[in-house]
């Protein structure tokens, strides 16, 4: 995988997947997990990058990426993760404390036509209703949806507030088999 923004691309094999990502200082622009058995790519829009950044020393600790492998594997699809904001931190509170750093060197969404996606999902959680930066988060979501307006969205279970559930919630609520099934059906219908 080549760089898309202007960071350094890293790759490591983990659990039968090749995990590649582009990092630049405090930012992670994207992460693509590929399994040689799968052809289809699924764009996954999340909130902000977690513990995986830099050279990947925390790759095994990234629970969200593991959950995505566990859900996308049975669905036969490679997840390509991008975020509403590129500032990498394991805690959204850290992002809110460093809000001025949220974007790095620009939005990746305008550059995604380089990659072929079968569909996309939103999985950013309930941060737009948290009381911190709500309007700015909602503006970003609207901007991203406008970039993806031609793409097919696979709708997944939502939080009670109507926001898309985060993969950690999928795990806590034992929804991983349901999500896998929805993804497989959604990809088959593309």
86-119 pLDDT, tens digit each: 888 888 888 888 888 887 666 777 777 756 888 9
Helix (H/G/I), strand (E/B), else coil: 82: strand
Residue 32: its H or E element: strand 27-34
Label residue 2 by pLDDT band (50, 70, 90): confident
User: Residue 106: what pLDDT?
Assistant: 65
Average of pLDDT values for 175-190?
A: 94
**Which residue is listed with tokens 């994207």?**
30
Domains of the chain: 8-188 (3.40.50)
Packing angle, helices 63-75 and 176-188, rounded to 10: 50
User: Residue 26: what pLDDT?
Assistant: 86
The C-alpha atoms of residue 28 and residue 123 are separated, in whole angstroms, by 17
Percent of the chain topping pLDDT 70: 96
Average pLDDT, the chain: 89
The C-alpha atoms of residue 18 and residue 78 are separated, in whole angstroms, by 10
Choose the weakest-confidence range: 102-111, 127-136, 169-178.
102-111
| Closest to 80 in 3D by CA, of 141, 51, 38 | 38
């Amino acid at each position: 995988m080549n760089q898309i923004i202007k960071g350094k691309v890293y790759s490591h094999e983990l659990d039968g997947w090749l995990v590649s990502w582009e990092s630049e200082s405090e930012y992670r622009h994207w992460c693509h997990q590929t399994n040689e058995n799968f052809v289809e790519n699924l764009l996954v829009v999340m909130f902000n990058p977690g513990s995986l950044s830099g050279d990947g020393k925390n790759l095994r600790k990234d629970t969200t990426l593991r959950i995505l492998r566990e859900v996308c594997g049975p669905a036969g699809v490679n997840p390509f993760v991008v975020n509403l904001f590129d500032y990498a931190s394991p805690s959204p509170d850290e992002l809110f404390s460093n809000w001025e750093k949220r974007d790095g060197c620009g939005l990746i969404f305008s550059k995604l036509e380089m990659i072929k996606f079968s569909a996309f999902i939103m999985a950013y959680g309930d941060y737009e209703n948290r009381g911190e930066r709500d309007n700015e988060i909602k503006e970003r979501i609207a901007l991203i949806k406008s970039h993806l307006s031609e793409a097919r969205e696979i709708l997944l279970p939502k939080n009670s507030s109507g926001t898309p559930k985060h993969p950690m919630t999928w795990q806590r609520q034992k929804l991983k088999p349901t999500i896998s099934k929805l993804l497989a059906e959604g990809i088959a219908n593309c």
